[in-house]
Amino acid sequence: MNTTRFTPADAAELYGIPNWSSGYFRVSDKGKVEVTPAPGLSATLHDIIDELVERGESMPMILRFPQVISARVKQLNEAFRTAIREYEYEGSYQGVFPIKVNQRRMVVETIAEAGYVYAHGLEAGSKAELALCLAQNMNPEALLCCNGFKDDGFIKLALWGRSLGKNVVITLEKFSELDRVLRISRELGIKPALGARFKLHARGSGQWEESGGDQAKFGLNASELLQVVERLKQEDMLDSLVMLHTHIGSQITDIRRIKVAVREATQVYSDIVDEGVKLKYLNVGGGLGVDYDGSKTTFYASMNYTLQEYASDIVYTVQEVCKSNQVASPVIVSESGRALTAHHAVLIMPVIDVTGPTRGSQIVPEPSEDQHQIVKDLEEILAGINARNYREMYNDAVGDKETLHNLFDLGYLTLRDRARGEALFNAILKKLAKLVQDLPYVPDELEDLPKTLADKYICNFSLFQSLPDNWAIQALFPITPISRLNERPTRQATLVDITCDSDGKIEKFIDLRDVKATLPLHEVSGDTYYLGIFLMGAYQDVLGSAHNLFGKVNEAHLTVRPGGKHTIDLFVRGQKARRIIESMGYEEAMLRESIRVQAERARAVGELTDADITELEEDYDEELLGYTYLEYEE
């Protein structure tokens, strides 16, 4: 056993907190995770949870920190301002937040408020999103980009937005949209501001690489872009085309791909300007990554550049191409969403149980008097394993286990012998794992031992509701205990949720060198053991599904105050059972009536009394109005 002292600094290194947190989270001297939205401000997550539990609120719960979003908006814009000053760039920068990343009211309003001084805008990709964006208090110069496919209603709403004084730009995603925009603008008498999305040959890197390039879903090719220019010339509306828009994907891991794409985009911009178009904006699209695993590499869960490098490389590349082509420098626009919102949200979930092959329930049963020889063979293997024969013994044990199950299936082995044989096999694996853990080379057949022997920590949450990207595309998110980080974790675990679905599990975890199959955790005993899932503020809120009718979780919006204090600004209750049931087409009154009729029938045959019916209806009503997640005494 490792008897060296385990410190909070050791825990921070073990869970990679300094590497992925971008300075917004840290481990305190008392071994608890703190949120640090700004210099001099900090609050302990466990203290926040204790306060909420004392108020009677239930887990799981999302903690949201608007100050972190504000800090990210400032950091992005200041990074571009720094680059513009450094390279003496003659244009400027305006950011845009694509609200598809997270349409939560707190998120959108915080970005609009924090970005007002920077004229930081919003992007809408649907009529509903546009309706939401139009209602925001934005800087008059801030862009409101309308992307995605559009019908008449979408275009009308965008044009009315210009009459409201908003800087609305309608992006043409396909050539046929131009006629629709021109027709509706004539009908309303409102002159449009247009952008044209161009399909770059360059592509991004990472999981969304295929969203860019020649086969991209959106955008015009070179011929179509020139046709747009010619058509606008014919309509004497060339000055309506104000933006060239490009996009090579989300979560771009390699800065070299970004530079190549920006160079191509700027070359297209220059050529369009040479055609007589007075473009104002060059929109380089999204893609600014988040370093989920902290490795600072081109791995799909990471990025090999900093935010300042991103801004500097874009500004430098645009300036270089514009100077070479002798065209005016545009207002650079980027549509960053993930990078602004990922850090602000933390899902807190309690561990409610632990299972696994080495837990107490897996005690080796006592041998029977007529114990089968195959069980005795496993006993001998367990007793005889050493550093010289461990591979041979492992192969023998695997073969004996297969024989054990075959004998049971054929009726030659009792259930008691099977139970003892399986427990012995698990004990063999555990002993093997200790033998090989310090070896310089682990044989291929033994590499999965830690995962095989890992505990399953059952957590009160739904993977499909709260972390859909982990299930759907195997996205990685940092996960760590929020306390006890001054204690050495002694267990290796995977995580499972409370849905009735075998896919409701997390078996891949971040690591600086590779993806880990297990997560080091503490033995669960006594006080509630909470785990935090971090960097989940982008996309997870809007993609979550109602698998097993688990609804949206409770959430608390918090402000961190000086002196380690905090205030709970808003508590948003998760979906009640009746609401999520109604979303499936049922009516609450119908459900209650069905229960009443069945209860009356049961009373008629003597199964229920009047008192029973009253209690049944009260319990049923309570659950209809209750939280969809498990509720235990914390």
Question: What does the CA dihedral 587, 589, 591, 594 come to, rounded to 10 degrees?
Answer: -140
Residue 447: per-residue pLDDT: 79
The answer to the question of whether 421 is labelled as a binding residue is no
Q: Are strands 281-283 and 331-335 parallel, antiparallel or unpaired?
A: parallel
Q: Report the SS3 class of residue 404.
A: helix
Q: How many CB atoms lie within 10 A of CB 105?
A: 12
CATH number among 2.40.37.10, 3.40.50.720, 2.60.40.10, 3.30.70.360, domain 1-65+344-355+461-574: 2.40.37.10
Structure pTM? 0.91
CA angle, 258 then 261 then 262, to 5°: 85
pLDDT of residue 206: 53
Among the residues of 326-459, which ranges form H helices? 338-341, 373-384, 390-409, 415-436, 449-453
- Indicate which residues carry an active-site annotation: 500
Sorted by where each begins, the domain ranges of the chain are 1-65+344-355+461-574, 68-339, 373-450, 577-625
Cβ contact 631:622 at 8 Å: no
Q: Which amino acid is located at 405 in the chain?
A: H
Per the annotation, does 226 bind a ligand? no
What's residue 444's pLDDT? 80
Phi-psi region at 424: left, alpha or beta (left = phi > 0; alpha = psi -120 to 50)? alpha
The annotation status of 285 as a binding-site residue, yes or no, is: yes
Enumerate helices (H) and strands (E) in the chain, giving the number of each: 22, 21
> How far is 31 from 489, CA to CA, in rounded Å?
12
CATH of domain 68-339: 3.20.20.10
User: What pairing do the DSSP bridges indicate for beta strands 479-481 and 530-533?
Assistant: antiparallel
283 is in an annotated binding site: yes
Q: Is 289 annotated as a binding residue?
A: yes
**What interhelical angle do 222-234 and 255-274 show, nearest 10?**
30
Is 375 annotated in a binding site? The answer is no
Three-state secondary structure string covering 509-548: ECCCCCCECCEEECCCCCCCCEEEECCCCCCHHHHCCCHH
Contact residues for 406 (Cβ-Cβ < 8 A; gap 6+): none
3-state secondary structure (DSSP) of residue 602: helix
For domain 373-450, the CATH class is mainly alpha
What is the DSSP secondary structure assignment for residue 459, as one 8-state letter? E
Reference 454, options 394, 508, 379, 418; nearest CA is 508
Per the annotation, does 137 bind a ligand? no
The confidence score (pLDDT) of residue 356 equals: 84
Q: Is 282 annotated as ligand-binding?
A: yes
- Whether residue 291 is annotated as binding a ligand: the answer is yes
Residue 329, CA distances (Å) to 206, 242, 267, 269, 325 in order: 30, 13, 12, 10, 10
DSSP 570: E
Would you state the structure tokens that stand for residue 170, as one six-digit string? 């309608």
Euclidean distance between CA atoms 542 and 582, whole angstroms: 19
Extract the tokens encoding 133.
């964006």
Beta strands in 20-120 (DSSP E): 25-27, 33-38, 41-44, 61-64, 93-98
Distance CA 27, CA 4 (A): 19
**Partners of 509 in beta bridges:** 516
**Burial degree of 622 (CB within 10 A; 0-12, 13-18, 19+):** exposed
What residues have CB less than 8 Å from 175, skipping those under 6 apart?
220, 224, 227, 228
Averaged over successive runs of 10 residues, the pLDDT of the chain (634 residues) comes to: 81 97 97 96 97 95 98 98 97 97 96 98 96 96 96 96 97 94 96 96 58 63 95 96 94 95 97 95 96 94 96 98 97 97 98 83 72 93 90 92 95 92 89 82 81 91 95 95 96 94 93 91 92 97 91 96 96 93 92 94 93 93 92 70
- Asked whether residue 288 is marked as a ligand-binding residue, the answer is yes
Distance CA 228, CA 248 (A): 22
